[in-house]
Structure 1
Amino acid sequence: MIYIENIYAQEVLDSRGNPTIKATVILSDGTIESAIVPSGASTGKREALELRDGDKSRYLGKGVLKACENIDTTISQALIGATPFDQNHIDSLLKSLDGTDNYSNLGANAVLGVSMAIARSGASSLNIPLYRYIGGANALTIPVPMLNIINGGSHADNTVDFQEYMIMPLGFDTFKDALRASAEVYQHLKKILNESSHITSIGDEGGFAPNLKNNVEPIELILKAIQKAGYKPGTDISLALDVASSEFSEENGIYHLKGENRKLTSHELVSYYEDMVRQYPIVSIEDGLSEDDWEGWKYLTEKLGNKIQLVGDDLFVTNKTILKHGIEQNIANAVLIKPNQIGTVSESMQTVSLAQRNNYKCVMSHRSGESEDSFIADFAVALNTGEIKTGSTARSERIAKYNRLLQIESEIAHTQYLGRELFKNNS
């Protein structure tokens, strides 16, 4: 019988230069596999706990030595000798070992690193791709990419309030063609920004971070870039927004758009979105209202839920209990899946399963602090999420996921790329 022989951790750096965890699993058959844990900047307050050392003399207090120690001692001791092929059992053990709802003892970063590394080691030991190991024969759908090509909010140091302006190449039959078109749009956008004397520095996720006059101007620039690249907005390539409104909501329920010097109520902000959706080919809005504004979310869903995708990120934090409440309240119609929000591979899968059973769409997602690890590319295919957010066509930690999806597409004989059909039920 093949069993876990050793587990250990290392403090490495993420794409923002902050420490994170690399967990390594060694199996008795000689298999050695690792996983690197991402970290977010715009985080929901109900996310599982990311354990940091708090020692200001190291990495400004962001070290993860304690979380690494938890892997080297408590977690390793509990899992050595266990089979790597029962992911749910492994993850249940990790949950019990921590003993809290949010992994505040061991750290969700420690637990997730081990959970991913064990899944990867199981696949490697059996000599099958990770997406096939997790998803089985039904893992066929290459996700539509949501490419963040203009950054704002917490992802950039500029005057744009909304966090992400994304393109979705829905009008293509293959991921390869969709990615090529997206890369062309990105390069044309850079030229347009240069010609308009805007800066072309990039934010955490590889999108450009210019100072613009309002939150609509990025849309106009992107539409121009789509057309310059030879594509048709709304047919070949549509738009998506991650507003991350919790970042600019105030305690009195008011949303302060500092870039436009405006303060809006929930209903006024929803009207703002309605105008944008009428005017532009926007097919998805993420975190349109704050994680605490459930009444506002109900109103947003009533107004736009039958027209576009409404994604809960900070709202649901990949937590099946919170998502269940949202489903019961008819709030949003899609959920963002970030494994480090919830703690383990199995818990992420459970949230996806709940969403899919209730006709909520799922979007696999990176974090702003990423690495060369491409686990989520396989995970998206394994779970047939149909969509993936993993940044622009810049920065190697983002490209790693796209290149992995290109490889997966070439391995799957009959690719089921969703293309134009993705949003047919909401049109």
Structure 2
Amino acid sequence: MDPTLQSQIDQAMIDLDKTEKKAELGANAILAVSIAACKAGAAEKEVPLYRHIADLFGKASPMLPVPAFTVISGGKHAGNNLAIQEIMILPTGASRFVEALQMGTETYHHLKAVITEKYGTHDCNVGESGGFAPNVSSFREALDLVKEAIRRAGYTDKIKIALDVAATNFCIGTRYDLDFKSPQKSGQNFLSAEDMVELYRELCTDFPIVSIEDPFDKEDWEHIKRFSSTGICQVVGDDFLMSNSKRIERAILEYACNALLLKINQVGTVTEVIEVVKQAKEAHWGVVTSHRCGETIDSFIADLAVGLSVGQIKAGAPCRGERLEKYIQLLRIEEELGDQAVYCGEDWKQ
């Protein structure tokens, strides 16, 4: 088949699979072929991969996304007692991607020094995505560390904070167990959904938090709608949406959140990825192109983020080769674009 005809190739695999959830061939296998075809299509046209993706998307002006660097890991990604999965920093005040990478990297290393001073070098181990995993006792304690690192790096007004709560992991019934990783404490620190709403309000007031991912259980539509309606911050759906077009459609109709976490293996083909991004953008949502656990050094999502002109990319800490390769590819793209390179910066929500 002609590798430039991405939609035809993807449809051929879907037709061959014949199941609703790609259960016959497997979504991972289909995605691998779809990505390979996309790369081959770019090679056939003799254009960079991000240009080819932009053509498939129908947008002629690629943009460099704001990176969401993981700096503290918790939840199921780390061996500490922190319930939330990740604390990230967004260099929205940078003028170029190369500056954003510098700001994120410097803050990351200042954070290592802050953690070492307070807890010792043994708490500087990193989690799955490269974020530090100090054994902090609360959300606020972890956020204080990040705020201090940003201050020391000199970027107080240029770096914002994002949370990946992954609340489904510690939701028990209708309550949230903030001590779920500490068997000796579990059950003593439960919060209701209403308590969680108030907690998020307080944290967004006291810290420069601009985005919260999966703040409630993935089936708690009531409270995620209520929280989104406050307009306090960007509310991102990951487990809540699963990059599923039907769930995205419902969320749009019910004003349940205002940003999509895009995990391409939850979708299955490049063509379907493009369609769900169009769906999100038509609703004026933000889009966060995301890595996964068990990443390789493949940098496809970097080209994808630029080609689709999404405002944010989440690829882990500025640490570990499989995470860094995405950021390095974005540096290459910015250098190649030269004067035509546009960094989303303050327009990161697009």
Q: 1:90 aligns with which of 3, 6, 9?
A: 9
Aligned mate of 2:45, from 115, 120, 126: 126
Matched residues in 2 for 1:154 and 1:139: separation? Answer: 38
Given candidates 198, 223, 237, the residue that maps to 1:296 is: 223
- Give 2:103's aligned residue: 181
**What residue ranges of structure 1 are gaps of 5+ in the alignment?**
1-81
Structure with the higher helix share, 1 or 2 = 2
* Alignment TM-score, normalising by the size of structure 2: 0.94
| Cα displacement (A) at 1:197 | 2.6
The corresponding residue for 2:311 is: 386
Post-superposition, which runs of at least 4 consecutive aligned residues in structure 1 deviate over 2 A?
420-423
Secondary structure in 1 matching 2:116: helix
Q: TM-score, normalised by structure 1?
A: 0.77
In the TM superposition, residue 126 of structure 1 has moved relative to its aligned partner by 2.1
Q: Residue 342 of structure 2 aligns with which residue?
A: 416
Contact 1:102 1:342 in 2 (8 A): no
Alignment partners' CA distance in 1, 2:237 and 2:29: 25
Greater RCO between the two (CA within 8 Å, min separation 6)?
A: 2
Contact 1:244–1:288 (CA under 8 A) maintained in structure 2: yes
Q: What aligned pairs does 1:175-254 form with structure 2 within 5 A after superposition?
A: 175-198=97-120, 199-232=123-156, 235-250=157-172, 252-254=173-175
**CA deviations over 1:116-154 (Å, ceiling 9, x no partner):** 011001111222110001103624210000000100001
Task: Give SS of 2:162's match.
Answer: strand
Note if contact 1:254-1:265 (Cα within 8 Å) is conserved in structure 2.
yes
Name the CA distance, whole Å, in 2 between partners of 1:291 and 1:105. 26
Q: Secondary structure at the match of 2:304?
A: helix
Which of the two has higher C-alpha Rg?
1
CA distance in 2, matches of 1:126, 1:164: 39
Deviations 1:241-284 (A, max 9, x none): 0000011111x211111168411121111111011111110000
CA distance in 2, matches of 1:231, 1:217: 20
**Count of aligned residue pairs for this structure pair:** 338
Q: Does the residue aligned with 2:119 lie in a helix, a strand or coil? A: coil
Corresponding residue number in structure 2 for 1:263: 190
* CA displacement at 1:420 relative to structure 2: 2.2
Aligned sequence identity (%)? 40
**How big is the shift at 1:184?**
0.3
For 1:193 and 1:385, locate their aligned partners in 2 and report how far apart those are by CA, in whole Å. Answer: 33
Which digits, 9 at most, give the CA deviation of each residue in 1:344-401, with x for residues without a partner?
A: 1111110000010110110000002100100000000010111000001100000000
Deviation sequence 1:93-120 (CA, Å, 0-9, x none): 1111111121111111101000001100
Q: CA RMSD in A?
A: 1.3
Distance in 1 separating the partners of 2:348 and 2:320: 27
Structure 2, unpaired ranges of 5+: none
Aligned to 1:365: 290
Counterpart AA for 1:293? D
The corresponding residue for 1:396 is 321
Contact 2:119 2:134 in 1 (8 A): no
The C-alpha deviation readout for 1:167-222, integer Å capped at 9, x for no partner, is 00010110000100110001111111111134111111011011111121111001
Separation in 1 of the partners of 2:177 and 2:13? 41
Query: Aligned partners of 2:298 and 2:262: how far apart in 1?
Result: 16
How many Å separate the matches in 2 of 1:265 and 1:335?
Answer: 25
Q: 1:147 — aligned with what?
A: 69
SS in 1 for 2:72: strand
Flag the 1:343–1:133 CA change in 2: closer, same or farther, 3 A: same
How many angstroms apart in 2 are the aligned matches of 1:134 and 1:214?
42
Instruction: Judge conservation of contact 1:363–1:385 (CA < 8 Å) in 2.
Output: yes
Q: Which amino acid aligns with 1:270?
A: V
